[in-house]
Amino acid sequence: MKPQLAEMLLDIKFHGAPDQFRRNHPFSEDIASTQAILFNPRYDKWKKLSAYRRWLAAGQPCLFGKAAAKSKSVFVCLLEEHEVLRMKRGDEDLRETIKDHRQAWKRCALEGSYSSFLVLLTSRSLVEKEPGDKLKEICRRLLELYMDVASIDDDTIVPQREYVFLRTGSKESPGNILKFATLPNVFCAQGDGRWWHDHRTPGGIMITSNALGHFVLSRIPGSEVKEEMPEKDKIHALDNAMRTIFNAYGNDKKRRGLSHCPATQLVPIKAGETSPIRAGSELSKYSPNHYHGFFHTDHLIPSVFFNKDRDPKELESYEDLSFKYIFDSAGDPVDHLELMTGTRATPFEVKQAMDRLPDFLDPDVPLSLNSKLDGRIGRWLSDRLVQRLEI
């Protein structure tokens, strides 16, 4: 029988090794300042969420993630350590809390908002511990609860995918419904200043799922959400993906003593290889088809993260990480369809994916998202959580 996440948090709190790396390498200013708010009991959860969103909009390397955060298109499930420790039914209540947030996210995404979803587990004691097996097992358990799967192995791609929906057309004249796959990634505070700096987060552990195709299609200007994605928008998405790698931590040449940094890197375009990137762009000299990394970006649990060394002596090199799914319908037809352009979904699938929502979030009824509705959703989620906590 697997230990509960609460047990794991207590174990690492009282028996985990301190992160000696922090003696000479304190957290970056952006991480430290955000954690000062996340760990302050005087601030309520809404203030903490606001602080974290500000960090997302400025501190993370992913250009899509920054754009989504700036446009308030990231739905956040914030779990504080004391809440996890107080859940009456342990992991079962934790799984149900995440599921509530996932369904609320999907309901908002149906109308074109919130293309990204993330689970943030905050713990002051957790960020003070070195990366190792204890931290890895906490990440694994949180991912299993989020994805609702029995187990996740190290360095593997899980075939089960998370889907999010988008209603095309307009509120007055709804069209078909498309669904887009996402694949989660894990981020830890311990990455700050280490070779995997680009996968850092304030607060503890963060799991994020980004629906790239949903984000691109829902933000094409016009009064209606299109059902077909223009080629120019695919190329713009490719440009942003490549630019994220191009701007990765370490590419500025100011970081010393990190031989595996940047953790991901563009590779030169080969002779005879064509690129849809415009000729005058600084990215045109790099391959649009693949890039290189010292971890596999599709692995849910990259085991190489959980090493206390700032930069291990040897890391496996993944030479053929792919961009093709973004723009190449012939080179990667399955992922291009699932992740980028979307597949047709039925109203039954949508209802099934949102079967626990209150009546005011009925997916059959188009709605307009605003601050009043955001507040109502927040209160529903808060009430559901309170019912699961020991007083």
What's the pLDDT tens digit per position in 295-317?
Answer: 999 999 999 999 999 999 999 99
Which tokens is 46 given?
A: 């809404």
Residues of the chain with pLDDT under 50: none
Phi, psi angles (nearest 5°) of residue 179 = -125, 145
Instruction: Give, in order, the Cα–Cα distances in Å from 345 to each of 110, 241, 264, 276, 288.
Output: 11, 27, 34, 30, 30
Q: What is the pLDDT of residue 253?
A: 62
Pairing of β 162-169 and β 185-188: unpaired
Which tokens is 3 given?
A: 């230990």
In this structure, are residues 208 and 185 in contact, taking their beta carbons and an 8 Å threshold?
Answer: yes
Q: What is the pLDDT of residue 256?
A: 65
Q: What is the pLDDT of residue 254?
A: 59
Taking all residues of the chain, what is their mean pLDDT, rounded to a whole number?
A: 93
Encode 63-84: b = buried (16+ Cβ within 10 Å), e = exposed: bbbbbbbeeebbbbbbbbbebb
Q: What is the pLDDT of residue 160?
A: 79
Q: What is the pLDDT of residue 312?
A: 94
